[in-house]
Amino acid sequence: MLEKFSNWKSKAEQENKIEEVKLENVPKHVAIIMDGNGRWAKKRGLPRIAGHREGMNVINKIVKKANSLGVEVLTLYAFSTENWKRPKNEVDFLMRLPERYLSVELPKLIEENVKVRLMGCKESLPAHTIGAVDNAIEKTKHNTGLILNFALNYGSRDEIVSAIQDIAKEVVAGNITPDQITDGVITEHLMTKELRDPDLLIRTSGEIRLSNFMLWQLAYTEFWFTDVLWPDFTEQHFLEAISVYQQRTRRYGGI
């Protein structure tokens, strides 16, 4: 008889040995692929946009929790370069979400010392979306707490392509030679240039893939997947992910 295959969870995780979160080893950069809004809505017989609205309400709880735990950067995948393939009404709704979210939450973000940041291709985003985000960036630019990095119209391959184009231009201009292109030079040309790589990646909704998210930056990140749909994600799930992270041994190729 075939042995039952274990899933993507480690042994400790399968056995549910979740301990308390230790404040001294909190991941400094947490990235989240917030997935499952559509399925959450479908299960309730609601339109997909109802799932996005509900998902938006989760963000603020997780931001607060991350900030209070001392997480330095929280990157949230809100819209990918591939999400333009969706029906127009859904895309339009998603493009209104940053304004909706910030119109309510910006005063709290300012008060909580959160610094808003954007990662993604600004050019194809509607003016109203960019306007809301730029305003939040401006109003929080002196804040020194959690960096809230929104990945909006973000695609990792596009990001890498434009980094290569920029570097190639510098080579052509004679500023650097091909031999001088290092890991560090590439990192410097990405949209995350002043951020450390994520320590922990969370993806909700049971999908075990990256969907073009931070391919370069996730080289040594710890992954945590959950079947929970994003609108159902709570602070407790977030703590569980961090607790699992704290039980992992990061070796970076060493022993």
Stretch binding ligand IPE (CB under 6 A), from 20-28, 182-190, 204-212, 215-223: 204-212
- The candidate with the shortest Cα–Cα distance to 210, out of 12, 35, 85, is 35
Q: Which CB atom, from 192 or from 246, has the smaller least distance to ligand IPE? A: 192
CB nearer to Mg ion: pick between 27 and 55:
55
Spatial distance between the Cα atoms of 154 and 159, rounded to a whole number of angstroms: 8
**CB 192 to ligand IPE: min, Å:** 16
Among 34, 119, 133, 200, binds ligand IPE (CB under 6 A): 34
**Nearest 5 degrees, angle CA 192-CA 214-CA 206?**
140
Query: Which amino acid does the sequence have at 14?
Result: Q
> Given candidates 27, 30, 36, 81, which one binds ligand IPE under the rule CB under 6 A?
36
Told to judge if 175 belongs to the known catalytic residues of this protein, a careful annotator would answer: no
The DSSP H or E segment spanning 96 is helix 88-111
Task: Please choose which of Mg ion, ligand IPE, none residue 33 contacts, taking the beta carbon within 5 to 8 angstroms, the exact cut-off set by kind.
Answer: ligand IPE
Q: Which of 58, 71, 78, 167 binds ligand IPE (CB under 6 A)?
A: 78
**Region at 101 (left for phi over 0; alpha for psi -120 to 50; beta for the rest):** alpha
Query: Using CB under 6 A as the criterion, what x/- string covers residues 210-229 for binding ligand IPE?
Result: -x------------------
- Between the alpha carbon of residue 152 and those of residues 67, 136, 138, 237, the distances in Å are 21, 14, 17, 24
Beta bridge mates, 75: 31, 149
d(CA 126, CA 95): 7
Total residues interacting with ligand IPE, rule: CB under 6 A: 18
- Min separation Cβ 206 and Mg ion, Å: 10
Token pair 């052509």 in the structure block, residue = 172
Q: Is 209 assigned a ligand-binding role in the annotation? A: yes
227 is catalytic: no
CA 239 to chain centroid:
16
Q: Minimum Å distance from CB 166 to ligand IPE?
A: 25
CA distance 242 to 69: 10
- Given the residues 60, 83, 135, 143, the one annotated as active site: 83
C-alpha span between 224 and 228 (Å, rounded): 12
Q: Is 35 in the site for Mg ion (CB under 5 A)?
A: yes
Verify binding: residue 52, Mg ion, rule CB under 5 A: no
**Which spans of this chain sit near Mg ion (rule: CB under 5 A)?**
35
Chain contacts with ligand IPE (rule: CB under 6 A) = 33-39, 77-80, 82-83, 94, 205, 207, 209, 211
Positions marked active-site: 35, 83
